[in-house]
Each structure stands twice: as structure tokens, then as C-alpha cells.
Amino acid sequence: MRTVTAPHLGVGIGWRPEIDLTVERLPGVDFVEVVAENLHPGELPESLRLLAERGLPILPHAVSLSLGGADPVDAARVEHLAAVAETVRAPLVSDHVCFVRAGGLDAGHLMPVPRTREALEVLVANVKQAQRLLPVPLALENVAALLDWPGAELTEGQFLAELVERTDCWLLVDVANLHANARNLGTDPVEFLTAIPLERLAYVHVAGGVEREGLYHDTHAHAVQHEVLDLLGELCSRTKPPGVLLERDDEYPTDEELAAELTAIREVLS
Amino acid sequence: MTRESLALQQGELLRALLAGGQPPAGFDPERIAAQTRALLAKRRRVVAMIRPDLAEALGDRFALTFTAYAVDHPRLAGSRAREDAEAFGTWLVDQGELAAPRRSWWRRAR
């Protein structure tokens, strides 16, 4: 059943409509990621069609499945992700280990789940259901948190390791989120990287953020901090990641600045 | 049983973060407050992006007015970001914060 190795991806950047031309002309971009909820299957933006014609892998990244939520999986959301995956002929898709909705409210954000056996049971059941509806493998990403649930029974690394063990999902490790949780919650990044099954690593996210009032905020609107690149280096000392992708979602810098951040990533990988 | 108890915990947390509920037991109230501010700021940014006319019309009052609106009108599960932004626009008119938008006669007859 298990795919032995993840597809090689290289160095990529999150495609956003605001930087479509930038992404097209940035040198050395090997793959892109798109926010699945922002696309209509069957009618791709011109820029993505162009990238697809160049043979770049396009990976749909979902933000709304709420697989860590207690509510039943919303099949329509998973089917939308599946349809986007078919449209871009994606090798895999992803979402997060988080919940977005609960009690009839929508947080508009990726909220951490309690690291308890009980929450893990629900997450595993939801992930298995989503996998049945998806045409390609699913990778799940660690999120950045400002607060921690009481009563944790597992570390974040143990929680993800067990999730992989029980669902056979892939991992999307966000080293900026790992930095955020180290900073905000006291997560030990080395323990995290030791606990997770690195052979199930699909790719890595790198993003910028900012320190405010003693907390690290994962904004995707600021420059990548050197601590985040250091964590990428720590990860690379243990495994060769199949891909590394830079995420930028707001306050877009110049093309040169984005190119420099991609170069900095490549230097860590080399 | 598992889903029910997790639903209660997650619902209680979101009510505290989004709708002025009490911080659930065991959480650091300062972190709840920080997360509340971060979620509010994100929601406000999205609304301003979808309806820049509202942010422009309110000017300096935008942030405070949105904060006053948000706690009594948390975004509901199943709603789209655009619906959230439109609902804020309607509320502004109902509150007398903004004049009702003038619609052209040819757009009115839909």
C-alpha cells in the first residue's frame, strides 16, 4: 500500500493571484502550491495554465477541511479539493492538523487541536474518510499556535507520528510553525524532528513572521527569520526533503526579495 | 462519546475566542486574549480586502467599528468570507454608520 518515496519536488513558492507574474518569472522555481479553496476546478487562471504547460507540479493546499474538528467531515469540501487535484494533475494534496469550525462558529484560521488520545481518534477517523474521497495521497501540516490546550497526553511530534502510523498520510512540515510553537508553547524542535517519521515527509514549508509582545506570529507577511532557516538546516541534517516551499500571503515584497529568500533556502539545502 | 466531548471543548474555545465567552478552564487567559486579537485582526484584514470601500469610508474608525461589530456577530460555520464582509456592510447601514449605497436603476431591477 505505502508509496515508498515521495515525488521529488525541489524548491517552490506559493502561487497567489497577487504575485502570479512574479512566480512565472522567478528563476529556479521547481513547483508551486495553490490554495485549493480559491480555485474553481476546470477553470484555472491563465498563469497556472502556463506553469502547468511548463511541467511544474502544482500542489493544491486546503485550509478548510477542519480534519481535527469534532464535526463530521464536510464531503463537499473534500470533493472540491479532489476536483482541483484532478484539474492540475496534482501528485498529492494537503491540509492541516487543525480545526477551523466548531459549535457553529468559523474561526477563519487554523486552530490547534488538543493533543489527547480522544482528539487523535477523531482526527484519524476524519483523515481516513477524507482519504477515501481523494484521488491522490494526502499530506498533513503542523500548525502554528498562540495558545496550548491543557491536558496534553502526547508531544506534537508523537501526535503526528501516531497520526501517520494509523492513517498512512504524508507529512508537510512547516518549519516556521515549528519555530512558532517552540517560541510560543515551548515545543522542542529537536524532539519533534526525532519523533516524526521523516520517511513520510512530502515537503517542507518556510514562511516569514514577526515577534510581537513576546509572541511569534506566523504572518506570511514578513521576511523569513534566520531561526526558521536554522530549523530547516536541522531538518536537512536528518533527511533530504523532497521539496521546500516558500509561502508569502500578504505585504508582497519585490521580486528581488522573494528571489533572495528562495536563494537562502537553496543555500540551506546545498 | 469521543466526538461529543471534543465538540464541547472546541465549541467552548471558539466561543471564548470569537464571541466573548468565558475562557475555558485550563487555558492561559492572556493567551486567549492574544489569540482573540489575532483572529479579529485577521478577520478584519479579510473584510477590508473584500470590501475596501467600507474600510475607506470608515477611515480611522474602521478598526474600532469592526471590533464592536465582530464580538456580537462571529462568523458562522458554513459562511463564506464574502458573506461575512457583506454582512458587516449591511450592519453599518443599519447602525447609521454609513449611508445606504446608492444603486443605479438598471442594477436595481434584477
Q: What is the ipTM of this complex?
A: 0.94
Q: Domain spanning A10-269 has what CATH number? A: 3.20.20.150
Q: Which residues of B touch A217 (CB under 8 A)?
A: 38
pLDDT of residue A1: 46
With a cut of 70, say whether residue A4 has pLDDT above it: no
pLDDT band at B110 (very low <50, low <70, confident <90, very high): very low
Q: Structural domain boundaries of chain A?
A: 10-269
Chain A residues contacting B, CB < 8 Å? 69-71, 99, 101-109, 111, 113-114, 118-119, 121-122, 146-151, 213, 215, 217, 250
User: Quick one: average pLDDT of B15-33?
Assistant: 96
Domains contained in chain B, number: 1
Note down the domain range covering B46: 2-108
Judge: B3–A104 Cβ closer than 8 Å, yes or no: no
pLDDT digits (tens, 9 = 90+) for A27-37: 999 999 999 99
For chains A and B, count residue pairs whose Cβ atoms are closer than 8 Å: 95
One-letter-per-residue 3-state SS of chain A: CCCCCCCCCEEEEECCHHHHHHHHHCCCCCEEEEEHHHCCCCCCCHHHHHHHHCCCCEEEECCCCCCCCCCCCCHHHHHHHHHHHHHCCCCCEEEECCEEEECCEEEEEEECCCCCHHHHHHHHHHHHHHHHHCCCCEEEECCCCCCCCCCCCCCHHHHHHHHHHHHCCEEEEEHHHHHHHHHHHCCCHHHHHHHCCHHHEEEEEEECCEEECCEEECCCCCCCCHHHHHHHHHHHCCCCCCEEEEECCCCCCCHHHHHHHHHHHHHHHC
pLDDT band at A246 (very low <50, low <70, confident <90, very high): very high
pLDDT of residue B105: 54
Full-model pTM: 0.94
Q: Which residues of B touch A150 (CB under 8 A)?
A: 25-27
